[in-house]
Amino acid sequence: MTPHTLHRKAATWLLATLMIFYGAITMASSLRLADPSELVGHWQLQQQSEPGGACALDLLQNAALGDGAECLSTWIGEAAVGWFPEPDGIAITGREGSRIIFFSRQREGLYEARLKGDGLIILQRAD
């Protein structure tokens, strides 16, 4: 192996390492965890398959679900009792505190979740 070839391999390795490093930093910084207080309030739930059948849902300050939790529970087939923010959306939790459905952030104030039966629930800020 000549010194030129060795130099070339080292430069290629360094470039690849830097690309991976900066790519990871960029990706991590683009996913900001919302403060729970930003999400507290009144929301509207709607199933895409039933545009006329909407429900209100309250996300409470204590990470509990308020009015409308029964409606969401019926749609997902499990008791929905709590919530918490994630970098890319909102997780809804069941009685044991584990995530039972995830609403993926589409844009500010608009989230979507897929149901097991391939349905779609839309969660939109009502305030």
For the chain, the C-alpha Rg in angstroms (whole number) is 21
Query: Which is more confident, 49 or 1?
Result: 49
Residue 35: how many other CB atoms lie within 10 Å: 9
Task: Tell me the percentage of the chain whose pLDDT exceeds 70.
Answer: 83
Instruction: Select the more confidently predicted residue: 105 or 2.
Output: 105
Which uninterrupted H or E stretch holds 39? helix 36-39
> What local confidence, expressed as pLDDT, does residue 53 receive?
82
| Higher local confidence (pLDDT), 7 or 61 | 61
Q: What pLDDT does residue 76 have? A: 94
Rounded CA-CA distance 17/37 in Å is 38
Residue 63 has pLDDT above 90, yes or no: yes
Q: Select the more confidently predicted residue: 47 or 52.
A: 47
Asked if residues 67 and 56 have their Cβ atoms less than 8 Å apart, the reply is: yes
Determine the straight-line distance between the first and last CA of the chain, rounded to whole angstroms. Answer: 68
- Per-residue pLDDT, averaged over 18-29, amounts to 61
Q: With contact defined as beta carbons under 8 Å apart, do 37 and 89 qualify? A: no
- Which of 76 and 5 is assigned the larger pLDDT? 76
